[in-house]
Structure formats: C-alpha cells, structure tokens
Amino acid sequence: MNVPVWNPAVEFMEREALERLQFANLRNTVTWALKTPFYRRRLAEVGMTHPEDLTSLRDLRNLPYTTKDDLREAYPDGLLAVEPEQAVRLHTSSGTTGMPTVIYHTRRDIDHWTELVARCIVATGATARDVFQNMTNYGLFTGGLGLHYGAERVGMLVIPASSGNTGRQVQLMRNFQTTVVHATPSYLLHLHAALGDEGITREQLSLRKAFIGAEPHSEQTRRKIETLFGIQAYNSYGLSEMNGPGVAFECVYQTGLHLWEDAYILEIIDPRTLQPLPEGETGEIVMTTLQRQATPLLRYRTRDLSHLVGGNCPCGRGHRRLARIKGRSDDMLIVNGVNVFPSQIEDVLMKIPEVGTNYLIQLEKRGSLDRLVVKTEIYAKLFIGDPQTLDDLRERIGELLRSAILVKPAVDLHEPGSLPVSEGKAKRVLDLRPAF
C-alpha cells in the first residue's frame, strides 16, 4: 500500500532525531511556562528556575504534574503565558466532569494545531478531493473548529454542519455527496437509524470514511459503524487541554492511535503511585505540550486510561501508538464492590446481533445493595411475536454481561429510538444512587 502522508520529514523522523527535537521543544516550553505565576511557583518548588536546569529528556520526571483541578484554580488566566494581545482564540473543555478549563492559543499555536489535524486526516487516506462534513459542535468545543481548520488546510471541501439536526445532515450529505464525516460514534449510530426511518439506503450516499472520537467507544462499536455504513471508521483522540482533535489518530492500518510526539511528550503512569508503567500496561495518559506558547502544560494528567501498543506500525511512522481509550479513571463504576467500566458493557452489547444502536447503564440502590440495570434498544421486529423470545434474549444478554463484568445486571429491552440521544458526547451512565 502507498502510505498517504502529510509531513514526511516529521512523521517518518528517526527516534533519535525525534527525541532531540522533543528536548529542544521541552526547554522552550519550560521557558514559556516560567512566564506564568502558576508554573513559576510550581517549578520553584522543585528547584527549577531556568530552562537550562533541564539537562536531558529524562529530567522531565522531575517536573511536577498538572491536574484538571490546577487548571480550574488557574481559571481564567493564571496559565496564560503570553501578553493577552498575542492570544487569538480560547477554547474550553466540554465540562463533562465539572467546571470547564480554558486554553488560549496564539496565531502560531493555531497554525501548529492545524498542521497536526492535517496530518491525521491525510494519514487515514482522505484527500483534497474529499467532501468533509463536520458533524460536531462548532463553538467552545474543540471538535468543530479543530477539525475544520485541518480539513481546509488539506484542501477538502468542508461543510461546517455542526452537530444535531439529523434531517439537515442527511440532506447535506446527499446534496453535496459527502465522502467523509466527523462525529461522535453514538451520533453516527443514531444517524444510521434515522436514515432507515426515512427509507434512505447507504447506496444513496457517497460516504467512504468517518472520523470518530470525543467519547469512549469499543472496537465492536467501530465495527458496527463500518458495517452499517459500509465505510472505514478511524478513531480520533484529543482533549481541549492538548488543543483538541489532532493529538492521536489512526492511520490507514487501524492498529492503534499514532500520537504526534514532536508536539507532545507522552507518559503512561500508574494513577495511584504516579510511577511510569512499562509498554503494554494500562494506566493514565500524561502529556506535556511541546509547541504551545499561550498555554504550555507540563505533565498534564488526562485521567484517560490506555496503554502503549508495542512494535512498529506497517505505515512506517515512528510516532508511538496508544490503544483505544478504555475510559476515564473517574468513569469506573463500583457495583457492590466490583469495578466495572462502561466500555466493558458496551463491548458485550455491540457484539449481540439483536442489539440496536443505543443503550443506557443505570445504577440504583435497593436497600444496602447496588442494582445495575442495562437498558438497551433492540430491533423493532423482535417485539412482534412470541414474548418468550424476549425473555430468552434478556437472559442471554444478562449472562453474557455477567461473564464479562462479574455482575449480573437486570436487562431492559427497548424499542429503537426510545432511549435518550445526546447531540454531543453520549451520556451512558445514570447513577441514581444517593451520595451517602
């Protein structure tokens, strides 16, 4: 296969050269960080007052971690490292887990970010000839403008559709023969169901690729999207603290997400001991920005869980790969003492042929015990006929879940379209247990 590439000099850089570049950029980053009151204080605590105090890349280990709470405390401008007039844009996180955080960008920062997104897009085999419909929210959320700028740089025809309004999305896709879309995986599944309702088949669309991200999803969900639409779906990982999309992306080989190591230093740590973990072990992703001047971040604890994929990707890029994100460390549910990740439940559900495109995990309290209820949509035709079939299906789903998560949930079966759909990130867990 001819490997499509945007910036061969950087994407195929030898490890040694890449690390030299990282070190030079780390020193720049510390120089910028020292301009903020927040990092001046933090770095002084570890005896670092000058970028020359860093003598090698290994010294990164001596730098303090930065947490989401630190960002919230520094809100709104405690982490701004340039004069306010040099900043040209700000973005905030979606606030999935609390108060939002803010990240500022200079013109140069936006230019770097755009380059990273362009690399990601081209790595999937998309080209300037594609028509790109961006179905994520335009606004403070980074998925809209982030992908938009990158796609324009590649030269695609960009349709800034933003999120929601499924009828209009379909109309745009048909009128302009959209070939590539960007959306959350949950929204694409919803879109597919909506096409069915309107009697539109995939042959009437020109779609060939999707970029999916912004929320945890399983390999089974990706496969489902690929099969339903007859396309390739590429996992895209990013977070507003690290610009947004463009941090890590799958290439045509879909063997994990290449993380651009000229722009970020990646560490995987044990979230309890804060010690680095060896390749292959799952832990918290920690990242240091290397190119961002307006809001440099050192060893930012993302709370996202993943591991490094070993070996080399057939595409030849040396930038290491992250495995699919398992979820956030704070996503983990404790059900009667057993640890359960929502992604494990999704993995089981999406393998079951009768299961439709939407589900919800509900937690309740029954006396002193937790009760786990998995609500899932199934195909409409299953509701017609023998009720015993539904009982059997409920039992089968319950058993499959029990063998995966060690807890047997109650299973509720729902008609297609009856569970809530969100326009942005899907809300998969409803925890109704009282706090105390």
Alpha helices (H) in 124-240, listed in sequence order: 142-154, 166-175, 185-197, 219-229
Residue 3 token pair:
């490997």
Q: Which does 251 bind (CB under 5 to 8 A by kind): ligand ADP, Zn ion, none?
A: Zn ion
407, amino acid identity:
V
- Closest distance to Zn ion from the beta carbon of 379 (Å): 36
* Nearer to ligand ADP among residue 132 and residue 211 (C-beta): 211
94 contacts ligand ADP (rule: CB under 6 A):
yes
Q: Are 361 and 433 within 8 A, CB to CB?
A: no
What is d(CA 39, CA 213) in angstroms, rounded to the nearest whole number? 31
DSSP 74-108: HTTTTT--S-GGGEEEEEE---TTSS--EEEEEHH
Where on the phi/psi map is residue 155: left (φ > 0), alpha (ψ -120 to 50), or beta? Answer: left
Name which of 152, 139, 194, 144 is nearest 171 in CA terms. 194
Closest distance between ligand ADP and the C-beta of residue 419, in Å? 20
Stretch that binds ligand ADP, among 43-51, 94-102, 189-197, 332-340 (CB under 6 A): 94-102
Q: Are strands 209-213 and 180-183 parallel, antiparallel or unpaired?
A: parallel
Nearer to Zn ion, 148 or 324 (CB): 324
The values of phi and psi at residue 203, to 5°, are -65, -20
**Residue 2: alpha-carbon gap to chain centroid:** 27
| Closer residue to ligand ADP, CB minimum distance, 43 or 117 | 117
In this complex, which beta carbon is closest to Zn ion, that of residue 253 or of residue 383?
Answer: 253
Tell me which stretch binds ligand ADP (CB under 6 A): 92-100, 313-321, 373-381, 387-395.
92-100
Residues 294-313 within binding reach of Zn ion (CB under 5 A): 313
Amino acid at 221: T
Find which of Zn ion, ligand ADP, none residue 313 binds, CB within 5 to 8 Å per kind. Zn ion
Does 267 interact with ligand ADP (rule: CB under 6 A)? no
Which partner from the list Zn ion, ligand ADP, none does 11 bind, CB cut-off 5 to 8 Å by kind?
A: none
Name which of 127, 125, 183, 179 is nearest 151 in CA terms: 127
Q: Do β-strands 257-259 and 321-322 pair in parallel, antiparallel, or remain unpaired?
A: antiparallel
Interatomic CA distance for residues 148 and 156, integer angstroms? 10
Q: Is residue 103 at the binding interface for Zn ion, with CB under 5 A as the rule?
A: no
214 binds ligand ADP (CB under 6 A): yes
What residues numbered 237-266 form the site for ligand ADP, per CB under 6 A? 237-240
Q: Which of residues 121-160 bind ligand ADP (CB under 6 A)?
A: 141
Residues 322-361 within binding reach of ligand ADP (CB under 6 A): 325, 328
120: contact with Zn ion by CB under 5 A: no
> Residue 321 or residue 375: which is nearer to Zn ion going by CB?
321
Shortest distance in whole angstroms from residue 12 CB to Zn ion = 11
Alpha-carbon distance 36 to 243, whole Å? 18
The 240-269 site mask, x for binding Zn ion (CB under 5 A), equals -----------x-x----------------
Binding mask 310-349 for Zn ion (x = CB under 5 A): ---x-x-x--------------------------------
What string of DSSP letters covers 39-76?
Answer: HHHHHHHTT--SGGG--SGGGGGGSPPB-HHHHHHHTT
**304 lines the binding site for ligand ADP (CB under 6 A):** yes
Residue 96 binding result from Zn ion, ligand ADP, none, given CB thresholds of 5 to 8 Å by partner type: ligand ADP
> Which residues in this chain contact Zn ion in the complex, by CB under 5 A?
251, 253, 313, 315, 317
> Which residues in this chain contact ligand ADP in the complex, by CB under 6 A?
93-96, 141, 213-216, 235-240, 302, 304, 325, 328
